[in-house]
Structure 1
Amino acid sequence: MDIDSLRSFLAIVDTGSFTRAAAQIHRTQSAISMQIKKLEEELGSPLFDRDKRPLTVSLAGQRLVSHARRLVASHDEALDAFIREDNTRPIRIGCPDDYAQSLLPELLEAFRQQLGKVTFDVLCASSVRLRQRLDSGDLDLAIVTRAPDSDEGWLLKHDKGVWVCGDDPTLVERRPLPLALFDKSCKFHTTALDGLGKFGIDVDLVAFTTSASTLVGLVRNQQALSAMASGSIPSDLKVLSGANLPPLPAIDIVIVAATHSHPMITPSMISSISHQFTAAQAKIA
């Protein structure tokens, strides 16, 4: 099997999209479609179910993933033995602002336990913008919230959305309901507004932002309620349980690597750290 074709296959699996995979590996979408077609002819099975949205990996594709990762990793390690790469530059990692205090420090510690005293260049932005920066080659890694039924990236944590308030829980009774939310690309933004509309609750949208500290400040100051991931809530804010508010969705937080990532970052390393995080969450649960 051709290494470049396997690399394209893995890019599609990790991004969940032929379009994003093409952008990351700097090929046209038609070129990687041809690579996948040749792989499918060689293996005698379709690798993706193209009729489903989002794009899903077939059973044959799922079987190929682990083999492809090993083959590509072995190929790259062999090249690294002969080609001196620049391991000194910082590792560029992106993270949504709400995970910057709760999840990112643990993740950086896990990488440094394996890599030693490396330096990280951290960019905080929404998941949508981080994917764009990955595709353009401006990031090596990114923590993002993935779409339901997607195989994107390596799982770090299952989480769920919750409604939060400051010291005054009676704010939930105010009409219109004052809200501060993450920006429109956040899953909780649309779900919260749509759900409140279905509940017949008028909303006063005080602000929307990519800044978690802005949301926390507004909630802490009794200016608004908010919808946040349960694992990112500061200890002084309160979860509104039992309030007549619509439910918020569960989410998967994953780490995604650029197709051409930092030379010190390998798929096996990311997989190991993913298992470390998911095992720790399973013990807590």
Structure 2
Amino acid sequence: MRNLDLTSLRSFVAVADAGGVTRAAGFLNLTQSAVSMQIKRLEETLGLSLLDRSGRGVALTQAGEQLLTYARQMVELNDDIYARLTMQDWEGEIILGVPHDIVYPVIPRVMRRMQRDFPRVRLQLVSSYTADLKQQFSKGAVDVILTTEAETGDGGEALHEVPLRWYGAPGGSAWKSRPLRIALSRRCGFRPVAAAMMQESRTEWELAVDSESDRTIEVTVSADLAVTPVLEGHAPAHLEMVPPGVLPDLGMQKICLYATTARPRIVTPLIDMLRAEFRALGGRTEIAAE
């Protein structure tokens, strides 16, 4: 396997852009003979003529035209890698706040990509409730947060819209009981939504468990002692969706993003990854629904 020399490729791109070896040498801060030698070495490596020197100026041959696109990509990729690994602009810590019920499946993928593409950036995950995360964000304690809300707040961006569904134990029957036993965390943002829907539909219900612990809620529901509202597609594997239509509809919830503007360069890649992942998640949800 023979390797192309990046320095020679950089000189080749400069000659193509400048329209001549002399001007390219000035841009590269090299002598004309040094640039010519690099182009000659590149041609010898490929066994092809890249420049047409028959005229007054320098033109690219057909092979040179084909190489130019690849050469630009290789030089740009080299510079991007070097910048991300060495420049202080791509160094530091980002604190990402996410409600526990939407950590999977997106967040682990995003964290892996950030570690791979920006190894000098430390991404710290904070998991809490939407109200707590928005409060921390307002104080500047976190850089980027995701929330689950019926409507997007000021400065937020809706990434995805998801139905809020009832979930219970696999094959369970707790959803048939009346009064309906519901397990809700004290600080869960879905609690007022569920209570309002129960009142509107005049469905008898009672709290099966009133706890600060999400694990307690999951254990109670998985034991078929209650049902609980969960965003569709984000439920733990040990819970199962109650058949739609048998309990009051809980409506839709938006997954929203709020980001600091204090460090846009270091935060922008994270935002782009979150947008892309939730866009892909939304596409898979629509396909599954069809």
The structure having more radius of gyration, on CA atoms, is: 2
Equivalent of 1:138 in 141, 165, 168: 141
Aligned AA for 2:148?
T
Quote the Cα distance in structure 2 between the aligned partners of 1:262 and 1:149.
21
User: Would you say 1:95 and 2:71 are equivalent positions?
Assistant: no
Q: Answer whether contact 1:152 1:256 (CA < 8 A) is retained.
A: yes
Instruction: Select 2:109's aligned residue among 106, 111, 125.
Output: 106
Q: Distance in 2 between matches of 1:229 and 1:134?
A: 23
Amino acid at match of 1:215: I
Q: Where does the alignment leave 5 or more consecutive residues of structure 1 unmatched? A: 1-83
| 2:242 is aligned with 1:247 | no
TM-score (norm 2): 0.59
Give the TM-score taking structure 1 as reference length.
0.60
Instruction: Give, in angstroms, the shift of residue 236 of structure 1.
Output: 2.9
Alignment match, 1:220: 222
SS of residue matched to 1:107: helix
> How far is the alpha carbon of 1:264 from its aligned partner?
1.6
Counting only pairs closer than 5 Å after superposition, residues 116-265 of structure 1 correspond to structure 2 as: 116=119, 118-148=121-151, 150=153, 152-184=155-187, 186=189, 188-209=190-211, 211-261=213-263, 264-265=266-267
In 2, are the aligned partners of 1:125 and 1:210 still within 8 Å (CA)? Answer: no
1:133 and 1:164 map into 2 onto residues whose CA distance is 30
Aligned to 1:274: 275
Asked whether the 8 Å contact 1:110–1:273 carries over to 2, the reply is: no
Q: Secondary structure at the match of 2:267?
A: coil
Q: 1:101 to 1:283 in 2, by over 3 A?
A: closer
Task: Give the Å deviation of 1:164.
Answer: 0.7
User: Do the aligned partners of residues 205 and 284 (structure 1) sit closer, same or farther apart at CA in structure 2, a change above 3 Å counting?
Assistant: closer
Measure how far apart 1:221 and its partner are.
1.5
Judging changes above 3 Å, is the alpha-carbon distance between structure 1 residues 92 and 106 closer, same or farther for their aligned structure 2 residues?
same
Q: Do the aligned partners of 1:97 and 1:211 also contact (CA within 8 Å) in 2?
A: no
- Per-residue deviation, 1:113: 4.7
Q: CA deviation at 1:85?
A: 6.1
Whether contact under 8 Å (1:91, 1:140) holds in the other structure is yes
Kindly state the Cα deviation for residue 130 of structure 1 after the two structures are TM-superposed.
0.5
Instruction: Tell me if structure 2 keeps the 8 A contact 1:143–1:255.
Output: yes
Aligned residues: 200
Relative contact order, higher structure (CA 8 A, sep 6+): 1
Counterpart residue identity of residue 222, structure 2: R
Partner Cα separation in structure 1 for residue 240 and residue 277 of structure 2: 29
Q: Which runs of 4+ in 1 moved over 6 A?
A: none
Q: Deviations over 1:190-238 (max 9, x none)?
A: 1211211233322221234565433222111122110110121123321
Q: Quote the Cα distance in structure 2 between the aligned partners of 1:232 and 1:114.
A: 26
Q: Give the C-alpha shift of residue 163 in structure 1.
A: 0.5
Supply the distance in 1 between the matched residues of 2:215 and 2:96 (Cα, whole angstroms): 20
Q: Which runs of 5+ in 2 are unaligned?
A: 1-86
Instruction: State how far apart, in whole Å, the 2-side matches of 1:138 and 1:273 are.
Output: 20
Native 8 Å contact 2:97 2:126 kept in 1: yes
Specify the SS of the correspondent of 1:109.
helix
Cα deviation digits, residues 144-185 of structure 1 (max 9, x gap): 124426564344322111001103532122222211124455
Instruction: Report deviation, 1:112.
Output: 3.4
